[in-house]
Amino acid sequence: MDSQSLEQTYAFEVFPKRDLTIVRGEGAALFDDQGNQYIDCTAGVGVANIGHANPVLAKAISDQAATLITCPGVFYNDVRARLMEKLVQIAPSGIEHVFLCNSGTEANEAAIKFARHTTGRSGFVSAMRGFHGRTLGALSATHKYRDQFEPLVPGFSFVPYNKIEKLESAINEDTAAVILEPVQGEGGVRPGDARYFAQAQALCRERGALLIMDEVQTGFGRTGAMFASSSLGLAPDLICLAKGIAGGVPMGAVLTSGRVNADIGMHGTTFGGNALAAAAALASIGYIEDHDLCAEAKRKGDRFAAALRGINSTRVREVRQVGLMVGIELKEKVKPHLLALMDKGVLALPAGATVLRLLPPLTISDAQLDAVVDAIRELLST
Ligand code: PLP
C-alpha cells in the first residue's frame, strides 16, 4: 500500500488531511513523493524556524544521538545544563529558572500548575480566540475546541483580547494568573497592543496574580525578536515555549521569574529535558543567533507584508503581520484557497475559517517569498 492508504487504514485520524505526501525538506522547500517541490509557508506549524534538514542541526542531533539520548531529571546532564543557561540568557528580563518538557500544551499545563502552587489561588483569565493547547488544563485556558470535552478544569474565564477594561474586571482575589499570547496565532494572527500588555502586567502585579505569556508560536525569532515579550518590554512571571525551540525535535519549556516557586516533586516528566532534544535546542538557538534570524525575520516579514498589502483584491479584508507571522484575513472561506495554493506550489495554513496564515522558515529567501506573493496574487485577483 502507498503511504496515504496506509495512514488512511491505520491512523486514529483527527487531522483534516490534504492530498499530499511529504517525504523530504531542504531549507524552505518541501518535496512530495512524486518529486514535486513546494515553498513551505507552514514550517511544521511554526516549528522549522531554521529551515528543514538544516545541516548544523542534523549534525548536533547525530553527534548527541551517538553520545547520550536520554537522562532523567534526577541526574545532572551537561547539555541540559548549558541549554538552561542559554534560555535564561536570551529570555526577557526577570527570568531565572527553566522547566523543560516536550510540547506547547505541556508547557502551558505546567505553567498552570506552577501558578496555582505559587499563589495558592485557583483562577485563570485568558483571552477569547486564544489557543494554548489540547490537553485538559491547556484546553481549559483555550476558548475553542472545548465544548465536547466538558467538564474541564474549573476556574477559567475568558475576556476579549486587547481590551484592558474587560481584563481589569475579570481579575479577582482568586486569580492565580492571566494567560495571553503576544500575537494570537491559531486565533487569526492578531497582534496585541504594547500598551495593553503593559497594563495587563501592571494589573497582575497590583492584584497578586501572575502573568503567563504563551510564546509557543511567537518564540525563537518568529516575530522578529527572540521573544515577543522582550519587544513588548514585558517581564512576565512565566513564559511558555515550544515549536521553534529545537528546530523540530519535540521540546517545550516554561521560563519562570523569581516570583514563581518550585517544590521538589510538584511536577515531573520522563522525556522533558532529554539530552537529544537539549542538543537540538542549543544548535537551533545558536543558528538563530549566528545567522541573525530575528532581524532577518523582521526585514523579510515587513517586505513580504508590504508586497501582500499591494495585492489588489476585493477578497482581502486585512493583512496582519509581525515578523514572519503573517495572516491574510479574507472575506470568504480560506480552505479552497489553501488547496489552490498547493496546486501552485505553496503550502500555507488556515487560522480559523477565513484567515490564510503564513509561517515560513525564517531562512526563507526573498526570491521564495516573492514567488509566494505572485502565487497569492494570481489566486486572489481572479
Ligand atoms: N500555545 C500556542 C500559542 C500554540 O500556538 C500552540 C500550538 O499551536 C500550543 C500552545 C500547543 O502546542 P503543542 O501543539 O506543541 O501542544
* Burial state string for 281-294 with b = 16 or more CB within 10 A and e = fewer than 16: bbbbbebbeebebb
Phi-psi region of 16 (alpha: psi -120 to 50; beta: other; left: phi over 0): beta
Atom of ligand 1 nearest to the CA of 130: 3
Atom of ligand 1 nearest to the CA of 217: 5
Beta 156-159 vs 190-191: how paired, if at all?
unpaired
Taking 50 as the pLDDT cut, the residues of the chain under it are none
Mutational pocket test of ligand 1: of 42, 217, 269, the residue with most ligand atoms within 8 Å of the beta carbon: 217
Taking alpha carbons only, the member of 123, 181, 176, 200 closest to residue 154 is 123
Beta 210-214 vs 325-330: how paired, if at all?
unpaired
> Which residue, by CA, sits nearest to atom 14 of ligand 1?
104
Alpha carbons 128 and 293: distance in angstroms, whole number? 31
pLDDT in tens, 318-368: 999 999 999 999 999 999 999 999 999 999 999 999 999 999 999 999 999
Ligand 1 centroid to 382 CA: how many Å? 34
Atom of ligand 1 nearest to the CA of 215: 3
Q: Cβ < 6 Å from ligand 1: which residues?
A: 45, 103-105, 108, 131-133, 181, 185-186, 214, 216-217, 242
Q: What is the pLDDT of residue 381?
A: 87
Mutational pocket test of ligand 1: of 45, 102, 132, 136, the residue with most ligand atoms within 8 Å of the beta carbon: 132
Ligand 1 centroid to 2 CA: how many Å? 30
Mutational pocket test of ligand 1: of 101, 139, 216, 241, the residue with most ligand atoms within 8 Å of the beta carbon: 216
Alpha helices by DSSP H, listed for 208-271, are: 228-231
Alpha helices by DSSP H, listed for 171-219, are: 194-207
Distance set, CA 123 to CA 101, 105, 115, 157, 169 (Å): 23, 18, 9, 8, 14
> Which residue, by CA, sits nearest to atom 10 of ligand 1?
132
Contacts of 148 (CB under 8 A, 6+ apart): none
Alpha carbons 246 and 61: distance in angstroms, whole number? 10
